[in-house]
Amino acid sequence: MTNKKIAKKKPLPCAICDKTLGKTKVKLQCLNCKKWAHKECTGAQSNWTCADCEKEVSTTEDDTDSENEAEDSSSSEPEATPKHKKSPRTHTKITLNDVMKKLEKIETKHDELLKKFQGILEENTKLRDEIKNLKTKQQKLEKQTVNSITESNKTKQEKLSNNIIVQGLENVNSTDYKKLITKIGDECNFRITESDIKEVHNIGKDASKMQLKVQFSTTEAKEFKGPD
């Protein structure tokens, strides 16, 4: 019998580092070309596509429609981000247009507040004018009141100045006081007519002693005149 030599398989190299894959290390196979590579060399967790296949996919993406792009994305998963890498942060960009819009809003609010303030100032001016007018009216009313009181007092004084009190009348039975006064005037040689007398009242407390309050119609009538 002739012994046949069994050919040994050549160890597969890593598609990334070209080192022998070995049996102990974890390996990943490219989803497209079926090449093998160390898992730690790929940086992927499960699915992996080699660099050559990724280039081919990127060159054909612009020529294919959206449906083919969806199929390619489902057949080849993107390379997983290593744990030590942080995802980029999204920064909000503020444009000059945004700043101008905000400034316009602030300016609009400022104009509104300024209009309100001007309205308040105008209202205050009106209120001041009204208060001034009220004070003027009050002063006029006070002056009119004082004049009315003065005039009333003057009238009262004039009435009082037209009065005389006749005392010492005893046992007088007459109730026609005007005739009684004219008779007293005749006896005293003073000419007094009933038309000169406005009214006569008995203010005596004692019925036996009469006190007559005589109010003449005018001050001149009070100035008794002697016979012609």
User: For residue 212, which phi and psi values (nearest 5 degrees)?
Assistant: -105, 125
pLDDT in tens, 89-140: 555 678 988 899 999 999 999 999 999 999 999 999 999 999 999 999 999 9
Distance CA 112, CA 106 (A): 10
pLDDT digits (tens, 9 = 90+) for 20-69: 887 778 888 898 888 888 888 888 777 888 888 888 766 655 555 555 55
Where b means 16+ CB within 10 Å and e means fewer, 176-192 reads: ebbebbbeebeeeeeeb
| Cβ pair 222, 186 in contact under 8 A | no
Q: Could you give phi then psi for residue 202, rounded to 5 degrees?
A: -90, 115
How many Cβ atoms are within 10 Å of 40's Cβ, its own excluded? 14
CA distance 166 to 222: 13
